[in-house]
Chain A
Amino acid sequence: MNEKTSQKFPEYFKKNSHFLWYGLILAAVTVVLLIFSLAMGAMEIRPDTIIRILAGKISGKSEILESIKANQIAVVWEIRLPRILCGLFVGSGLAISGCIFQSLLRNPLADPYTIGVSTGAAFGASLAILLNITFGFFLSSTAFAFTFAFFTLVLVILIAQKGGGMFTSNLILSGIIISSILSSGISFIKMIAGENVSAIVFWLMGSLPSRQWSDIRLVAPVVLIGGLIAWIFADDLNIMVLGDESAQTLGVNTQRTRLIYLIIGSAITAACVSVSGIIGFVGLIVPHILRFWTTGNNRILIPLSAVTGSLILCLADNTVRLISNSEIPVGVLTTLIGGPFFIYIFLKKTDKQTGVL
């Protein structure tokens, strides 16, 4: 960009470079928070030890780890790091997915759970837990959750297609229908689980303890690859916000773009819900507030939401670890804090004339 042109729109270029800095600062804060979070817990481990453990494990140089106690390495690498990384990826994934669904459904109040994929995941996980308890199977609730989330998406798309086309209203409507049926299914599973219902209820509340590297291996590639594809097609997503007819006049293949984003958004949501249960409000609030505080441009909003989402979920998870020994599920905290915060934003920002947030 030559100087003369950037002088014509100085504010635009200044604003965009500010957003880049915000993103970088937030990413740096997240890295510091990661180290701090690894140091937190019943076993006291100093931050410099943590950095050495990470350096040794990542580089594969065992001599760095020689002077460190084996149980410290196990706690950091096998217990705390998977949980914290899981929180970072889930927070990031939910925020990216929220960003996608808000633009795709042309509704700034949509979230990753709007079209019912999460209810599908919850049904799958509940079913796996029930079968494990009742018949002594060793089914993976994560795998079941992911599979059922995928089938839910296919069903929602098919119903929307049969109902006149894959348009916003049809998708939301078929999402609500499938969601309601699956919710009843979950209630039924809870009922027949009897005394063992607590395992299902706890899963549904959304939490991060006892995450393993296998969970990271599921959620990380889906969030990273999905986020990257979402970012590459961000211009198309910006145009989708204008509605189908206008988007087509600007050269966007709306059917294809909608399908790509539905698959990406749902895959990210499914992966997040599969490993952590249903964590509320992160996927709604983060992109919603960032959109109105920074920009509606998804090219900037997607990476910014990703970093902010991971930071917020990591903070929330640290808070639940700090305030209770019995561990409140982080999903409960995000909803408890996120809900009232959203009411505050709603009252503060609602345009009195148009009612638009």
Chain B
Amino acid sequence: MNETALEIKNIHFSYGSSPVLFDINCAIRKNRFVSLIGPNGSGKSTLLWLLCGIRKPQNGRILHNVDVSKMDILERAKRFAVITQKESNQFPFTCLETVMLGLHPHRSRFSSVTASQMEQVWNAMKIAGIQQFANRNIMHISGGEFQRVIIARAIVQQPEILFMDEAISSLDISEKIRIHKQLRSLMAETGMTVVSISHDIDTVSLSDDVMALKKGALAAFGPPDTVFTESFFENVFNVKAEILPGKGFFIRDNIEYVI
């Protein structure tokens, strides 16, 4: 299971004259859960949009066998699914209808939904834990519930790589852990790779690899136990951390409470 899912070669990207990413080079292996971390404004979301091919780097290439920015849009949607935190919908679709949109890349325009596709939708809703409100209007559900609807829709896409931009950060802790476990078993079953932006350092520790960005450059890449050192936290996040061998770490910094 050491094949490469994404090869990132000399990526540079800038918005107008403001450079955002510099010379990113690394390889994401198949079937790994990769967490993309870094301070605000370090270029995480931009890198994610480049990796999934929605934006094109000014320099360098991202390869998923072929250059992702040159892949056919429909072909790409069959292989990559993306969950963002920004998505909203002002139109009265039900949760089920929203999840069913994930079938779009796999459906012909003239065919109706097949029984096996409905089965797929059902399973995805079960994984996201939303089958009980399939017929509820998405405008009448909470932010966390909406996020789970989007997760189910991405699973329905049956992607080879699932990209998540803080997709589970708005969920409560038990739901966060449950979804994480479900994604892990889906990965074991289908060989899926996950690339996830997260600020939750506790869930990041559960990932296979950590990819850390600082001011648009790759600061570290590797399994959490090798990346997470006291100097790493100091250097990337400018906080003091204490590593407890075999147990994890905790952030220890001078905090002043002002009342």
Contacts and interface: CB of A to CB of B under 8 A. Distances in A.
Nearest to B138: A296
20 contacts: A2-B115, A5-B115, A11-B135, A108-B90, A238-B93, A238-B97, A241-B90, A241-B91, A243-B88, A245-B86, A248-B77, A249-B81, A250-B101, A250-B105, A251-B74, A251-B76, A291-B91, A295-B97, A296-B93, A297-B93
Given A1-B115, A5-B118, A297 B97 contact: yes
Given A1-B115, A239-B104, A9 B96 contact: yes
Nearest to B137: A296
B200 interface: no
Given A246-B87, A251-B105, A292 B92 contact: yes
Interface in B186-219: none
A265 B56 CA distance: 31
Interface in B87-114: 87-94, 96-97, 101-102, 104-105, 107, 109-110, 112-114
Interface size class on chain B is 35 or more
A295 B115 CA distance: 22
Given A248-B73, A249-B52, A251-B74, A107 B101 contact: no
Contact of B104 (A241, A251, A295): A251
Interface in A1-28: 1-2, 4-6, 8-9, 11-12, 15
Interface string A234-256: 01101101110110111111000
B92 A235 contact: no
Nearest to A239: B101
A70 to B, nearest CB: 47
A243 B87 CA distance: 7
B33 interface: no
B135 A250 contact: no
Nearest to A291: B92
B139 interface: yes
Contacts of B109: 232-233, 235
B87 A242 contact: yes
Interface of B: 49, 52, 54, 73-74, 76-78, 80-82, 84, 86-94, 96-97, 101-102, 104-105, 107, 109-110, 112-115, 118-119, 122, 134-135, 139, 157
A326 B77 CA distance: 59
Interface string A106-139: 1110000000000000000000000000000000
Nearest to A241: B91
B115 A250 contact: no
A30 interface: no
Contacts of A252: 73, 104
Nearest to A297: B97
B193 to A, nearest CB: 16
Interface of A: 1-2, 4-6, 8-9, 11-12, 15, 103, 106-108, 232-233, 235-236, 238-239, 241-243, 245-246, 248-253, 291-292, 295-297, 351, 356
A15 B122 CA distance: 18
A253 B73 contact: yes
Given A106-B90, A251-B74, A5 B119 contact: yes
Nearest to B107: A235
Contact of B118 (A9, A233, A243, A248): A9
Nearest to A298: B91
A2 B80 CA distance: 29
Closest 8 A/B residue pairs (Cβ): A251-B77, A251-B105, A249-B82, A296-B91, A251-B74, A5-B118, A296-B93, A5-B115
Contact of A8 (B49, B107, B118): B118
A250 B104 CA distance: 7
B91 A250 contact: no
A236 B96 CA distance: 17
Given A103-B91, A249-B54, A251-B74, A238 B113 contact: no
Nearest to B97: A297
Nearest to B98: A242
Most buried by A among B89, B92, B112, B115: B92
Contacts of A291: 91-92
Contacts of B122: 5, 8-9
A6 B122 CA distance: 11
A247 B96 CA distance: 17
A22 B134 CA distance: 23
Contacts of B94: 12, 295
